Protein backbone atom coordinates (compact mmCIF):
# COMPACT_ATOMS: atom_id res chain seq x y z
CA UNK A 1 0.00 0.00 0.00
CA UNK A 2 2.80 2.37 0.90
CA UNK A 3 4.49 1.55 -2.38
CA UNK A 4 1.29 2.50 -4.29
CA UNK A 5 1.06 5.87 -2.48
CA UNK A 6 4.74 6.60 -3.29
CA UNK A 7 4.18 5.72 -6.95
CA UNK A 8 1.09 7.98 -7.14
CA UNK A 9 2.94 10.86 -5.49
CA UNK A 10 5.86 10.37 -7.87
CA UNK A 11 3.46 10.38 -10.86
CA UNK A 12 1.76 13.58 -9.62
CA UNK A 13 5.13 15.28 -9.09
CA UNK A 14 6.31 14.23 -12.57
CA UNK A 15 3.10 15.54 -14.14
CA UNK A 16 3.52 18.88 -12.33
CA UNK A 17 7.17 19.16 -13.45
CA UNK A 18 6.24 18.28 -17.03
CA UNK A 19 3.39 20.81 -17.15
CA UNK A 20 5.69 23.51 -15.72
CA UNK A 21 8.30 22.75 -18.37
CA UNK A 22 5.67 22.89 -21.15
CA UNK A 23 4.27 26.20 -19.89
CA UNK A 24 7.77 27.71 -19.62
CA UNK A 25 8.63 26.50 -23.12
CA UNK A 26 5.47 28.10 -24.56
CA UNK A 27 6.20 31.42 -22.85
CA UNK A 28 9.79 31.37 -24.13
CA UNK A 29 8.74 30.60 -27.71
CA UNK A 30 6.02 33.31 -27.66
CA UNK A 31 8.57 35.84 -26.41
CA UNK A 32 10.83 35.00 -29.38
CA UNK A 33 8.06 35.64 -31.95
CA UNK A 34 8.22 39.26 -33.00
CA UNK A 35 5.32 40.72 -34.96
CA UNK A 36 6.26 42.07 -38.37
CA UNK A 37 4.42 44.32 -40.75
CA UNK A 38 4.04 42.70 -44.13
CA UNK A 39 4.73 45.19 -46.91
CA UNK A 40 1.48 46.23 -48.54
CA UNK A 41 -0.69 44.75 -45.78
CA UNK A 42 -3.44 47.02 -44.53
CA UNK A 43 -3.01 47.66 -40.79
CA UNK A 44 -6.27 49.56 -40.38
CA UNK A 45 -4.73 52.94 -41.05
CA UNK A 46 -4.98 55.03 -44.19
CA UNK A 47 -2.66 53.60 -46.85
CA UNK A 48 -2.66 56.76 -48.91
CA UNK A 49 0.64 58.50 -49.46
CA UNK A 50 -0.95 61.98 -49.33
CA UNK A 51 -3.56 63.64 -47.13
CA UNK A 52 -6.98 64.07 -48.72
CA UNK A 53 -9.01 67.24 -48.48
CA UNK A 54 -12.79 66.74 -48.50
CA UNK A 55 -13.95 69.50 -50.83
CA UNK A 56 -16.45 69.95 -53.66
CA UNK A 57 -14.59 71.52 -56.57
CA UNK A 58 -15.84 72.11 -60.09
CA UNK A 59 -14.09 69.81 -62.54
CA UNK A 60 -14.26 69.53 -66.31
CA UNK A 61 -13.10 66.17 -67.58
CA UNK A 62 -12.62 64.48 -70.90
CA UNK A 63 -12.70 60.78 -71.66
CA UNK A 64 -12.68 59.73 -75.31
CA UNK A 65 -12.53 63.40 -76.34
CA UNK A 66 -15.90 64.47 -74.87
CA UNK A 67 -15.89 67.20 -72.19
CA UNK A 68 -18.21 66.82 -69.18
CA UNK A 69 -18.76 68.60 -65.88
CA UNK A 70 -18.35 66.94 -62.50
CA UNK A 71 -17.67 67.74 -58.88
CA UNK A 72 -15.00 66.42 -56.59
CA UNK A 73 -15.60 64.69 -53.27
CA UNK A 74 -11.98 64.87 -52.14
CA UNK A 75 -8.59 65.70 -53.56
CA UNK A 76 -4.91 65.22 -52.77
CA UNK A 77 -1.67 65.94 -54.58
CA UNK A 78 -1.76 62.38 -55.94
CA UNK A 79 -5.38 61.98 -56.97
CA UNK A 80 -9.01 63.02 -56.85
CA UNK A 81 -12.40 61.39 -56.27
CA UNK A 82 -15.15 62.60 -58.58
CA UNK A 83 -18.88 61.95 -58.75
CA UNK A 84 -19.61 61.03 -62.38
CA UNK A 85 -22.82 60.02 -64.17
CA UNK A 86 -21.15 57.18 -65.99
CA UNK A 87 -19.11 54.23 -64.79
CA UNK A 88 -15.69 54.00 -66.41
CA UNK A 89 -13.38 51.01 -66.47
CA UNK A 90 -10.23 50.83 -64.38
CA UNK A 91 -7.17 51.99 -66.31
CA UNK A 92 -8.98 54.45 -68.60
CA UNK A 93 -7.09 57.71 -69.12
CA UNK A 94 -8.83 60.93 -68.14
CA UNK A 95 -7.96 64.59 -68.71
CA UNK A 96 -9.18 67.15 -66.16
CA UNK A 97 -9.39 70.87 -65.52
CA UNK A 98 -9.90 71.50 -61.81
CA UNK A 99 -11.19 74.87 -60.58
CA UNK A 100 -9.37 75.86 -57.40
CA UNK A 101 -10.89 78.76 -55.42
CA UNK A 102 -8.87 81.98 -55.48
CA UNK A 103 -7.04 80.97 -58.69
CA UNK A 104 -7.82 82.40 -62.13
CA UNK A 105 -6.65 79.37 -64.05
CA UNK A 106 -7.79 75.78 -63.79
CA UNK A 107 -5.31 73.12 -62.75
CA UNK A 108 -4.77 70.85 -65.72
CA UNK A 109 -4.07 67.21 -64.98
CA UNK A 110 -4.00 63.83 -66.66
CA UNK A 111 -4.93 60.75 -64.70
CA UNK A 112 -6.07 57.19 -64.74
CA UNK A 113 -9.28 55.66 -63.38
CA UNK A 114 -8.29 53.50 -60.40
CA UNK A 115 -11.75 52.47 -59.19
CA UNK A 116 -15.44 53.25 -59.70
CA UNK A 117 -18.53 52.27 -57.72
CA UNK A 118 -22.11 53.43 -57.41
CA UNK A 119 -22.51 56.51 -55.22
CA UNK A 120 -24.96 56.56 -52.37
CA UNK A 121 -26.03 58.95 -49.66
CA UNK A 122 -24.70 62.48 -49.83
CA UNK A 123 -22.32 61.58 -52.69
CA UNK A 124 -25.17 60.69 -55.04
CA UNK A 125 -27.05 63.10 -57.28
CA UNK A 126 -30.86 63.04 -56.96
CA UNK A 127 -32.70 61.47 -59.92
CA UNK A 128 -29.46 60.48 -61.67
CA UNK A 129 -27.32 57.40 -61.38
CA UNK A 130 -23.96 58.51 -59.96
CA UNK A 131 -20.58 56.85 -59.51
CA UNK A 132 -17.78 57.65 -57.10
CA UNK A 133 -14.64 57.44 -59.22
CA UNK A 134 -11.09 57.38 -57.86
CA UNK A 135 -8.49 58.89 -60.16
CA UNK A 136 -4.72 58.84 -59.78
CA UNK A 137 -2.83 61.78 -61.27
CA UNK A 138 0.05 60.83 -63.52
CA UNK A 139 0.73 64.25 -65.05
CA UNK A 140 -0.03 67.75 -63.79
CA UNK A 141 0.88 70.82 -65.84
CA UNK A 142 4.08 72.62 -64.76
CA UNK A 143 3.36 75.04 -61.90
CA UNK A 144 -0.08 73.54 -61.21
CA UNK A 145 1.26 70.91 -58.81
CA UNK A 146 2.62 73.67 -56.54
CA UNK A 147 -0.72 75.52 -56.68
CA UNK A 148 -2.58 72.33 -55.76
CA UNK A 149 -0.18 71.52 -52.91
CA UNK A 150 -0.44 75.08 -51.55
CA UNK A 151 -4.27 75.00 -51.70
CA UNK A 152 -4.53 71.63 -49.95
CA UNK A 153 -1.93 72.55 -47.30
CA UNK A 154 -3.74 75.81 -46.57
CA UNK A 155 -7.10 74.04 -46.13
CA UNK A 156 -5.85 71.16 -43.93
Could you report the per-residue pLDDT of 95-135, keeping only the tens digit for each? Answer: 999 999 888 889 999 999 999 998 877 666 666 788 999 99
Tell me: the pLDDT tens digits for 29-73? 776 655 555 455 445 555 556 778 999 999 999 988 889 999 999
- Cα–Cα distance, 137 to 141 (Å, whole number): 11
Instruction: Looking at the chain, list the stretches that DSSP marks H as alpha helix, in order from N- to C-terminal side.
Output: 2-32, 144-155
Rounded Cα–Cα distance for residues 13 and 45 (Å): 50
pTM of the model: 0.66
Q: Which domains does the chain have, with CATH numbers?
A: 53-155 (2.40.10.220)
Amino acid sequence: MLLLVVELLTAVILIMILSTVIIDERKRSEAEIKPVKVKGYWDGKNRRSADRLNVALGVKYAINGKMHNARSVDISTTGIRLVLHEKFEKGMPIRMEIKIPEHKHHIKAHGEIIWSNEASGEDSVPSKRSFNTGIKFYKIQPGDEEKLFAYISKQL
